[in-house]
Structure 1
Amino acid sequence: MKKTKVIVLAENALTNPGKLTRYLNSLKQPIVVKETCFGAYIEGEEELVDKLAQDIRNFEKNRIFCKDRGYPIWDERRCRAFRGGGPREGFHQLEAEQAVLDKIGLALDKIEKEGLTPMEEVLAKERELIKRESKIPVEEFKNIVEKVLGSKNEA
């Protein structure tokens, strides 16, 4: 059965879409590879595509991310070449996901190095932040505004 995978590179990945595509093509495997602005699509037999995706992830496991794609490469229902241009459905979501992958990768690095923080600590920190960020009384806010505006008028 055929499968298509999306390979997305985080902004802080050491590779780029061109290098990734050249590498995939150099493998001489029975796959179709399409370079994209965020990484690449690979398409082929399910087992081979899954294996290649895992191998690629292992090069920079917290900088290269993969997910299944619901449509084959060059599918006329999704491909810009057949629809007259413009972004394809889901592109903006993928763009938003890619924008945070570098932070996700850094978090994964930290988890690997230090382990997971116990949930009790996470919840305690959350309560502390909520308490610190809680609303102030209106009168106190008015006093702060008047103080700030008053100091600007005096300058």
Structure 2
Amino acid sequence: MIEKNPKWALAGIYADEGVSATSMHRRVDFLRMIKDCRSGKIDLIITKSVSRFARNTRDCLDVVRQLKMLNPPVSVFFEAENLNTIESKNEFTLGVMSLVAQGESEQKSAAITWSIIERFKKGIPIISTHNLLGFDKDHLGQIVIVEEEANIVRYIYDSLYVRF
């Protein structure tokens, strides 16, 4: 999108991978982007969707309003919703969209919490074996030892045991 407009220049990519957009506090790149807006480096933010920008209605609207009050004002364009915050008429729509994003986030969180509780009740461990050397899960989801990898783990432990 940016490369199609010769008047635009990419100021950077700000991505908080693995961090929920439900709160601004832990979103280091998001906060850096806002700082760059305040310092005049950015006058337009392009984001995939409202839910990628913020999943908290208050945060979303507060940030958008603060950005619009800057000199020069900074607008946010949400691609999926085809919504630009520079137009005042879009604030109500943005509020509704961010409320929906917040509701979806809360619903997912509740479903995950319920799933974890149910797994614990059934005695099913919630351990990812994807990057766990020496272990895997069988067809029932039970943790099993992978002997070929377990020998490496035993060697590591034995080597450390000898050193201490």
TM-score normalised by length of structure 1: 0.29
Specify which structure has the higher proportion of helix.
Answer: 1
TM-score normalised by length of structure 2: 0.28
